[in-house]
Amino acid sequence: MTAPLDTPGLTDRPTVRLLPKANARAIRFGAPWVFANELVTDRRTRKLLPGTLARLEDADRQPMGLVAVNPNSKIIARMLDDDGEASVDQSWFATRIERALHLRETLFDAPYYRLIHAEADGLPGVIIDRFGDTCVIQPNAAWAEVLIEPLCAALVAVTGVRHVLKNASGRTRTLEGLDDVSGVLHGEAPEGPVGVPMNGAIYMADLTEGQKTGLFYDQRPNHAFAAGLARGARVLDVFAHVGGFSLAALASGAESALAVDASAPALALATEGAARMGVASSFETRQGDAFDTLAALGKEGAQFDVVICDPPAFAPSRNALDAGLRAYERIARLAAPLVADGGFLVLCSCSHAADIAQFRGACVRGIGRAGRRAILLHTGFAGPDHPQLPQLAESGYLKSLFFRL
């Protein structure tokens, strides 16, 4: 059993205290974050090392639980446990991973899923995606970086995976003051892309050089819904990455699919997936900027029965919200003319700063500016391996809108 890496140890564990204006009731009822303007940040607190475990008290000095502190982050404390004296060791991690694994094994019949979805699975800031006998960890909070060894040991012990990789990319780690150095934590890195079966398709995931952990599992139910609309259809998949929507559509019987992405390596993986599925003759790719490619297809008079646009987060923060909504509106305006009459337009957002109403409004404006009329057929969200924490709106980040034009 790995010993706790609390620094300082249990007997010397520091105490931090909420300001009177902080919403202590919300935290007691499950809100997982304490912001810097809600905590007493005296000289002692500011000197705590990022990732330090501390007891949290309310403004009346009543105990609230155990938090991980990072004085360099706007999220200065993350709730870890209701017990302020809890020992965060391999056993502690194992309890949470076992609970998460049981849920995923209930939901899925193959070991390809998001195993740990941060706060919703009791490990704030921690993402773990599973690809068969390999897991990829994103420790996006300082405390998880400090305790990566017992976390990895618990993951191997509970799941039996042979390989564990660390992915250190992403904006969140930068906000936490962490480095971007990825590596192998256990076993070995795969020599090439890993084939992932999902929705009848085969996706090739690059676990060492690809985006994020290598594949986006969150869109699984939306891939499936779109595939149901695409039987016998001509499909355009924009911001395709490794072919998420287009390969699922071909697996469901689409006539053809064109995948558009700025990344040549991602499109090469999509092409390899299509070949493994035996649908290479129906699959094409086009590398380039999505906005430019949509405009070019419009000038060419191209028409598709199903058009899907699944861009990266245009509004990753509140400061970027207005610009992000304009970008979503522009995407809708450029994509709508490419949809044949009676066809379907699927528009997605993974921006937590843009709520569903704001995103829907931007999409409807764009469709209207294109001179099209639409009904909203379906609204999709992330799959159940990406559970939402009701007290954390940011955990409900993914929205997929299915319009019939």
- Provide the residue ranges of all domains of the chain, joining segments of one domain with +: 10-81, 90-186, 201-404
User: In CATH terms, are 10-81 and 90-186 the same topology?
Assistant: no
Task: Supply the pLDDT for residue 380.
Answer: 98
Task: Supply the pLDDT for residue 10.
Answer: 52
Helix axes 356-369, 321-335, angle to 10 degrees: 40
**CATH number given to 10-81:** 2.30.130.10
For residues 386 and 218, the answer to whether their CB atoms sit within 8 Å is: yes
DSSP symbol at 349: E
Architecture of domain 90-186: 2-Layer Sandwich (3.30)
Place of tokens 């084939």: 195
DSSP symbol at 193: P
* Main-chain phi, psi angles of 222, to 5 degrees: -75, -35
Q: Is the peptide bond before 4 cis (omega within 30 degrees of 0)?
A: no
For residues 217 and 135, the answer to whether their CB atoms sit within 8 Å is: no
- Written as one letter, the residue type at 192 is G
Kindly report, residue by residue over 325-384, the tens digit of the pLDDT: 999 999 999 999 999 999 999 999 999 899 999 999 999 999 999 999 999 999 999 999
Average pLDDT over residues 384-398: 91
Kindly report, residue by residue over 115-138, the tens digit of the pLDDT: 999 999 999 999 999 999 999 999
- Written as one letter, the residue type at 143 is W
For the chain, helix, strand, coil in percent to 5 are 35, 25, 35
Q: Sign of the C-alpha dihedral, residues 380, 386, 389, 393?
A: negative
SS3 343: strand
* Main-chain phi, psi angles of 102, to 5 degrees: -60, -40
Task: Supply the pLDDT for residue 211.
Answer: 81
**Residues forming a β-bridge with 201:** 198
Class of domain 201-404: alpha beta
